[in-house]
Amino acid sequence: MERECRRRVGQAISPEEFDALDDTELERLVPKAYREFFPGKGACADGHFYLHDGRAWSFYKGDLLDD
């Protein structure tokens, strides 16, 4: 029996996990305050996307790149 990994908001993921997840699954990892800025997986360069103020959210870090 295969156990499903339960991902949480702000949890860092690997590049392989990023590739395997779809837009809906990735969006669930983004904190609610930043979700409206998530452009979809196809527009994420190197596992991150930019917010309106120029900061970048990284799926690999599970946080803002500059923090």
d(CA 67, CA 56): 10
Number of domains, the chain: 1
Residue 4 belongs to some domain of the structure: no
Structural domain that includes position 57 = 15-64
Q: What pLDDT is stored for residue 66 in this prediction?
A: 82
Q: What pLDDT is stored for residue 67 in this prediction?
A: 67
Give the number of other Cβ atoms within 10 Å of residue 19's Cβ: 10
Backbone angles phi, psi at 63, to 5 degrees: -165, 180
Model pTM score: 0.85
Residue 3 belongs to some domain of the structure: no
Write out pLDDT tens, residues 5-16: 678 898 999 999
Residue 2 belongs to some domain of the structure: no
Question: Residue 29 pairs with which residues in a beta bridge?
Answer: none
Residue 22 belongs to some domain of the structure: yes
Residue 46 belongs to some domain of the structure: yes
Q: What pLDDT is stored for residue 2 in this prediction?
A: 45
